[in-house]
Amino acid sequence: MQTQVTKKIDFKGKELFIGLDVHKKSWSVTVVVDGIEHRTFTQPPDPAALHNYLQRMFPGGSYNSAYEAGFCGYGIHRELNSLGIRNIVISAADIPTSQKDKLQKRDPVDSRKIARALEKGSLRGIHIFDRDMEELRSLNRTRFYLMRDLRRSKNRIKSFLQYYGIPVPLEFDNNQWTLKFVSWLKQIKMQTLSGQAALMHLIGSYEHHRAQLLKISREIRVMMREYDNELYTLLKTISGIGPLTSSALITELGDINRFSHIDHLSSFVGLIPKVKESGETVHTGGITFRCNSFLRTLLIESSWQVIRMDPALMQYYQHHVINNKGHKVIIKVARKLLNRIRYVMKNRQPYVTGVA
C-alpha cells in the first residue's frame, strides 16, 4: 500500500503585497503575489484576522500592506506592524488612478489599485509620529477647533443683534470682545421671554467656548515646557511667533531634519504654487491644495503680524505689494518666515530680528 506524501506549502522568500480599503465595519483586501492577483475579499476590520489569513494561506511569506490615511488614524498601522506585516499609510491623492476607476469607484477596485501600486514601488508612506507625540499634537489641534467654535459663537451673537436691529455702542464697535462688552450684551432687554432666553443662550455658548479655550491654552503651555522647553523658547524669538504657534510648529513638524530642503518643507506646509507646464507654455496658479491646513493657517496669520514687527520682512512686503495684491505677497512672506523657523529648529539658535 502506497502512502501519500503531503508537501507543506512554504512561501519563504516570496513578497506579498496587500492593498487595504479600510472602513469602519469592513475592509476590502486584495493580495498580490508574483504579479498575480490572488484574491480580493471582504473581512471584518481586524488586523489579527488578516494576519491569521496570511499565515494560513501564505506561510513564511514576507507581507507588505498599505491603506489610505483617513478617519481611522494610525492604530491599524501600528497593530499591523506589531504582527509582522510591514505597513505604510499613504495619501489618497498619491494612488495612480485611471479615468475609468474614477467613474466606477468601488471598494474592491480601490484595494486592487493600492496592491498593484505597492507592488510596483510607486507608493510612498506618510510620516507617522509616535503615539505620545501624536496625542500632544491632538491637544494643539483641539485648541484649533475650539477657536473655530468661539468664532462661530461670536458671529451668531453679531447676527442676532443685526437681525433685531440692536446697534452696538461706538465704544464697543471695534471687534474687541472685552468684559465690558460682554457685560453690555447681558444688559440687553428683548421684548419677550423667548427672545431674552435665545440671547442668553448665545452669550452662554460664547462664555463656555472662551473658558475652554483659555483652559486648553494654559495646558498646552505647561506641557510644551515639559516636552522641549529649549526649542519652545527659541521659536518664540521669531517675530510673529507666539507660544501657541510655537507649540503647533513643534507638534506638527516633529523632527525638522526629516525635511532635506526648504522646498520639501514648503511643500508639506502647502506654500508652493500649482504649476502646469506643457512644451513652451508654463502656467503658475495659486497655492497647492495639498497642505497641512493647521500649519498653513497659523503661518499666514503670523505673517500678517511679522510684517509689522520685523523690519526685513516689512521691507520685503512693501517692495512687492506695489505690483501685487497683499494676500498674494503674504504667501511669499509666509515662506520666508518658514525658512527662519527651519533655521531656528535645525540650529537651535535664537532668531535675530531684522536680519535680511
Q: Quick check: 177 and 154 in contact, CB under 8 A?
A: yes
Can you give the pLDDT at residue 188?
Answer: 94
5 secondary structure, DSSP code: P
- Encoded amino acid at 111, one letter: S
Helix spans in 187-292 (H): 193-235, 243-253, 262-269
At 10 the pLDDT is: 78
CA distances from 207 to 109, 159, 179, 200, 292 (A): 49, 17, 10, 10, 30
- What residue spans define the domains of the chain? 15-120, 131-235, 253-347
Cβ pair 49, 4 in contact under 8 A:
no
Alpha-carbon gap, residue 328 to 65, rounded angstroms: 41
pLDDT at position 350 is 92
Burial of 174 (0-12, 13-18, 19+ CB in 10 A): exposed
Distances (CA, A) of 141 to 292, 293, 337: 12, 11, 21
Q: Identify the residue whose cell numbers are 500632544.
A: 136
DSSP one-letter string for 136-190:
HHHHHHHHHHHHHHHHHHHHHHHHHHHHTT-PPPGGGTTS---HHHHHHHHT---
Contact 60, 92 (CB under 8 A): no
Give helix 243-253 / helix 193-235 axis angle, nearest 10°: 70
Rounded Cα gap, residues 270 and 250, in angstroms: 17
Residue with cell 443683534: 161
Q: How far apart are CA 340 and CA 353, in angstroms?
A: 10
Can you give the pLDDT at residue 282? 67
CB 96 within 8 A of CB 66: no
Residue type at 200 in one-letter notation:
M
Residue 235: CB atoms within 10 A of its CB come to 25
Within 13 Å, how many C-alpha atoms sit on residue 315's CB side? 7
DSSP 227: H
Quote the CA–CA distance of 311 and 352 in Å, as a whole number: 11
Q: Report the half-sphere exposure of 13 (CA within 13 A, side-chain side).
A: 2
The answer to whether the CB of 27 falls within 8 A of the CB of 19 is: no
Q: What is the pTM for the complete model shown?
A: 0.84
Query: How many Cα neighbours within 13 Å face the side chain of 337?
Result: 36
Beta strand 273-278 pairing with 86-90? unpaired
Residues 86, 63 contacting (CB under 8 angstroms): yes
Query: In whole angstroms, what is the distance from residue 198 CA to residue 160 CA?
Result: 9
For the chain (356 residues), the mean pLDDT of every run of 10, in chain order, is 59 91 95 92 95 93 94 94 96 85 84 94 93 94 94 95 92 86 94 96 96 96 93 93 93 93 92 75 75 91 92 89 84 93 94 68
C-alpha 328, offset from chain centre: 23
Query: Is the separation of the CB atoms in 16 and 62 below 8 Å?
Result: yes
Q: So what's the pLDDT on residue 7?
A: 60
- Tell me which residue has cell 493600492: 114
Q: What is the spatial distance between Cα 76 and Cα 116, in angstroms, rounded to a whole number?
A: 21
CATH code assigned to 15-120: 3.30.420.40
What is the CA angle 184-186-189, rounded to 5? 100
